[in-house]
C-alpha cells in the first residue's frame, strides 16, 4: 500500500512510515501536485479536504478522525493494513527503506554509549540518518501495541 498525504496529516504520515508504509509527505505541495503524485506513482491520496476528493478523479480517502492516533487506527482499518505492518523499516524523515550497517562502519557518528550497548544499527541511504533500538523505540513499540489493541 502506497500513500501520498496532504499537509493536514503530517503526524499520520510519520506514523505510517514508522509502521513501514511507503508514504510521500510534502507539506509544501499544492493540491494539483498531490494529485499528480497520486496518479503518476499509483498512490492513494489521504486527505482531510473533502473538496479535493469531490472535485478530482483520484484514488483517495477522506480521513474523518481529527486526532493523529485515531487517524492511524482509521487508515489501518480502512485499508486492512494490520498484517502488512513492518515497523521501523523506513526512515520517518524521508521515507527511504533503512539498511542494516555494521556499527563499526559508522562508529564516528554514534554516541559512545550507543556504540557500546547496541548490536544493530540502521542507516537511511537517502538522508544518512542513523537508527538503533534505544528507549525511544521501546516507547514507540508500546504505543503501536496500544494503538493496535495488543
* pTM for the whole structure: 0.90
Q: Does the pLDDT of residue 150 top 60, yes or no?
A: no
d(CA 58, CA 42): 10
**Of 5-19, 43-57, 73-87, 97-111, which gets the smallest average pLDDT?**
43-57
Q: Does the pLDDT of residue 82 top 60, yes or no?
A: yes
Domain boundaries, the chain: 2-84, 99-148
**How many other C-beta atoms are found inside a 10 Å radius of the C-beta of residue 30?**
11
Highest mean pLDDT among 57-61, 95-99, 102-106: 95-99
Q: Which helix (H) or strand (E) holds 30?
A: none
The architecture of the domain spanning 2-84 is 3-Layer(aba) Sandwich (3.40)
Amino acid at each position: 500500500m502506497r500513500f501520498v498525504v496532504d499537509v493536514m496529516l503530517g503526524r499520520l504520515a510519520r506514523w505510517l512510515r514508522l509502521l513501514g508504509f511507503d508514504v510521500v509527505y510534502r507539506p509544501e505541495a499544492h493540491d494539483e501536485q498531490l494529485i499528480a503524485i497520486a496518479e503518476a506513482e499509483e498512490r492513494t491520496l489521504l486527505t482531510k479536504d473533502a473538496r479535493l476528493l469531490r472535485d478530482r478523479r483520484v484514488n483517495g480517502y477522506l480521513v474523518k478522525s481529527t486526532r493523529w492516533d485515531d487517524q492511524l487506527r482509521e487508515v489501518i482499518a480502512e485499508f486492512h493494513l494490520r498484517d502488512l505492518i513492518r515497523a521501523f523499516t523506513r526512515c520517518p524523515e524521508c521515507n527511504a527503506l533503512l539498511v542494516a550497517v555494521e556499527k563499526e562502519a559508522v562508529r564516528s557518528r554514534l554516541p559512545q554509549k550507543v556504540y557500546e550497548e547496541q548490536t544493530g544499527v540502521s542507516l537511511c541511504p537517502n538522508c544518512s540518518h542513523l537508527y538503533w533500538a534505544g528507549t525511544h523505540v521501546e516507547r514507540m513499540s508500546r504505543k503501536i501495541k496500544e494503538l493496535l489493541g495488543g
